[in-house]
Structure 1
Amino acid sequence: MASTPFPTNPNGGDFGDFVDSDDECEVETDAEPRMRYLQGLYCPLYIGEVLDSRYRIEHKLGWGGFSTVWLAHDVQENKAVALKVSVSGQRGEYELAMQNVIIQTVRDTSNLVTYQAVFSLRGRQGSQHTVFVFPVRGPSLDTICSRIPPTFRVPAAKHLLLGLKNLHNAGIVHRDLNSGAVLWSIDPIDHWTTAEKYQRLGRPRKVPLSEEEGIPGELVESVRFPPDLLRHPVCICDFGLSITSGTRVENTVQLPPLFCAPERLHGVFPSCASDMWSFTCIFAKLYLGVEAIYGGGPSMISRIIGMLGLPLPEHWRGYYGDGTTAHDWWYDQSGQMPRTDILGGYETLEHKIDRLRPEISRDEREHALSIMYRGFAYLPEQRITAAQLLEDPSFNALMSYYNV
């Protein structure tokens, strides 16, 4: 079925490979959910398609809940670009508005991914999709972090922090900061031919969409960037949920929840401080190589409490989720905490660092702990800011161990 030629690439050229039925599951596991094409959310596209009379799609860079992202060649300017194709509806228009706010108000956007051009694309049944043209960046932190050494990972924390400080100085809350919203830089690939891109990045492996899902269109497995292509600095992207500071939102919870500040789980609106909790989660992943916090729901909160060894603030009692879940020990100020070791089901920050970074010195360990504890302060008003952390002696001492 899948090995037959696909009739939507009429102009010749190399458009990757349709996989056979044995490999179809691998492609579909990596690619975006088919259901979102059936629902009319995603815009069906295919390798070799030319958008806006100039952008020839060459590969898939990734996807998210609100977009698919493609590697394309700008035939007018003879350069590689990334195309972010938003889901149908208002999401793309909102992100465009926030991008414009960022471009107009943030003084230094060098650590932020802002658009170079934008156009609209008509999808199935007349749906409209906003398409952003971005410079090509590398993979996100969450796709490759465990494959690179700490000497390369840890310096990225400073670049990320600089971008976040510039956002916050302009009064903008990212609101959705996670390791998927932070991209590595890569060596320039503008001079690469399509064949060279496929040689270095892998040929596109793909499966055709059905007529009901939107032919012409393909599910395409994402690029696998080789680690030797990665460069500093990292950049923050994905501003589709960003807000100006003080904006009230309908849903305070951040997804995925493992980057969500605990006050947001108790109905407090997103803020620059909640971004800093998310930053600290990313910093911990850069430093440790894995997430410091994992899971979801009540179990995740229990792990946070076990990790920090402190109860949640008493005045949050009764505000978790819908207010009906009873976990009174979360707020117990008596000091009677559950066991906080690995055998007891929890692991403290100290245990995590000792287990995952046993090679570091005692001084470096103390600096790392200081940064994490200040970023993981429960109360947002007590949490360190991006500007403060950039001036923090422990942060700068830690960066010096990595020649930053």
Structure 2
Amino acid sequence: MAKTEASTGNTTDFGDFVKDEEEELDLEELVEPWHRYETEENQNVLYPIRLGELLNERYLVEHKLGFGGGSTVWMAFDLQDKKNVALKVMALGKWGDNEIRIQDEIIKTVQDISRLVIYGATFFLPRDDKSYHRVLVFPMKGPSICTLTLKTTPMASRMSAARQLLETVASLHKAGIIHRGEPTSSYFVFLYTKRNDVDLNARNCMWGMTPVDDLSRSAKYELLGRPLKQIIPFVNLWKQGELVSPVKVPEDLRTEEFYLCDFGLAKKIGDLTTQHGYPPMHYCSPDRLHQQEPSFACDMWSYMAIFSMLYLTFPPFPTFLEGGVVSGMVECLGPLPEQWKGLYTHPGGLDSWYDQSQSPDLENDLAAKIAYHRPDTDLVERQHVQSIMSKVFIYDPEKRPTAIELLRDPSFRAIMDRYGCGDSK
């Protein structure tokens, strides 16, 4: 088991504690709920960590990256290798076991892993009751897709990301692996995700980041923001832990490389067991929401939702309608297959989704969305993008193109060429 101890350095230079109720409320919006550390009636107990703590006698915790349904993720300085790393501290139990198993499979079978975020080491942190938390050590990467910053990100960068991601998905599929994402966390607060995200989604896709390994801690804080923190309240813990605000990666640190991470729910085609979980609704294919098994086609729907985010700077299907995102799909694409009625996996399903007399709303179909969100584009470009989206946003998973087929699609290649990203394989 790994030992933990406080840093012997300047323990006052690890961020700022909240000063008043207003700062407490601001922090509450950015961090995991305090009750996630409570052991009673909680199957996913988190491990309490504080800034300045030394984990495994090697990793000095300096900042927070984010959290998810089954982990917290911390920026730490590796005192041995003299570089920043991301520590994904899993919730109590066997969280992370499938991720390690499938990543080992990826290392053995995927031809090109240069755009996959693969763990480099793992260790365990013991609790007072002799149970333990697994920790995965990852390389530091940059910010994930965020609607707040996409509008200022050049289109060439966004379309390069779309191409790189599709090539990465194709390499996974070639090795027989469905990504599916994972329910714990993506890689930064947006990247490491705030909620219970699973499947291929915007929060487990991220740009690269210029290394800041040679900077002092104060210089890192100047670039990434000083951590705002609070002692974990209301829970009687055996060791001190903190709720900490996440880093904010400035645009000038972002690089053009684009990565895919989080493999906690990934599976090899033919595996007898499937890790339980569903994607965030924005990215989940409608067949998965109707009790269909995970497939390469599910990844393709999720990919196209990310492509739409990158191109439109907005999710393709709204969630504010009655019935949520599925109502947005029906409004845009038309009714779901009638044979799916009664199979919806979540509460709040509507019979109207399966009414075959409906047609797509012409004011909210794919063509209308593209024209509304990208008025700067010409008709030829809009037609190419509509062609790409309509080939993947199709209810029958067997009719969706594969990743390789989409890379070779004339409209996809035309868009990539238009933005100087025409290296699609």
TM-score, normalised with respect to structure 2: 0.86
> What is the alpha-carbon distance in structure 1 between the residues aligned to residue 220 and residue 346 of structure 2?
49
Listed one character per residue, the Cα deviations across residues 342-379 of structure 1 (whole Å, up to 9, x for unaligned) are 5xxxx211111111100011111111111111111111
Specify every segment of 5 or more residues in structure 2 that has no aligned partner in the other structure, as ranges: 181-198
1:202 aligns with 2:225: yes
User: 1:117, 1:68 → 2: CA distance?
Assistant: 17
**Take 2:339 and 2:405, find their aligned partners in 1: how far apart are those partners?**
27
Q: Partner of 1:138 in structure 2?
A: 142
Q: Does 1:300 align with 2:299?
A: no
- Native 8 Å contact 2:62 2:77 kept in 1: yes
Please state whether the residue corresponding to 1:32 is helix, strand or coil. coil
Matched, 1:376 2:393: yes
Alignment-mate amino acid for residue 224 of structure 2: L
Q: Residues 146-161 of structure 1 correspond to what in structure 2 (within 5 A)? A: 146-161=151-166
Partner of 1:289: 313
**Corresponding residue for residue 17 of structure 1:** 16
SS state at 1:101 partner: helix
Distance of aligned partners of 1:249 and 1:75 in 2 relative to their CA distance in 1, 3 Å threshold: same
Q: 1:140 to 1:323 in 2, by over 3 A?
A: closer
Shift of 1:147: 4.7
2:373 to 356, 359, 372: 356
Name the SS of the counterpart of 2:390 in structure 1: helix
Q: Percent identity?
A: 42
- Ranges in structure 1 where 5+ consecutive residues have no aligned partner: 1-6
How far off is 1:154 after superposition? 2.4
Deviation at 1:331, TM superposition (A): 3.1
The alpha-carbon distance between structure 1 residues 253 and 130, as it changes in their structure 2 partners (threshold 3 A), is closer
Give distance in 1, aligned partners of 2:47 and 2:418: 46
**Over the residues paired in the alignment, what is the CA RMSD in angstroms?**
2.3
Alignment of 1:148-297 (within 5 A): 148-175=153-180, 176-210=199-233, 212-213=236-237, 215-247=239-271, 254-295=278-319
Q: Given residue 282 of structure 1, which amino acid in structure 2 is its aligned partner?
A: I
1: distance between equivalents of 2:34 and 2:313?
Answer: 32
Matched, 1:26 2:31: no
| CA–CA distance in structure 2, aligned partners of residues 251 and 236 of structure 1 | 19
Shift of 1:240: 0.7
**Alpha-carbon distance in 2 for matches of 1:125, 1:402:** 56
d(CA) in 2 for partners of 1:66, 1:105: 27
Query: Which SS does the other structure have where 1:371 is aligned?
Result: helix
- SS in structure 1 of the partner of residue 23 of structure 2: helix
2:27 aligned with 1:38: no
Q: 1:367 to 1:119 in 2, by over 3 A?
A: same
Output the TM-score relative to the length of structure 1.
0.90
The CA distance in 2 between the partners of 1:322 and 1:133, in whole Å, is 34
The answer to which structure has the higher helix fraction is 1
Inter-partner Cα distance in structure 2 for 1:206 and 1:147:
29
Shift of 1:300: 2.0
User: Is 1:315 aligned to 2:339, yes or no?
Assistant: yes
Secondary structure at the counterpart of residue 146 of structure 2:
helix
Look up the equivalent residue of 1:12 and give its one-letter code.
N
Map Cα deviations across residues 6-51 of structure 1 (whole Å, 9 max, x no partner). x966642411111112301111210111111113611111111111
For residues 224-252 of structure 1, give each alpha carbon's deviation from its aligned partner in whole angstroms, at most 9, with x where no partner exists.
Answer: 11112111221111111111124466787
Deviation at 1:322, TM superposition (A): 7.3
The number of aligned residues is: 390
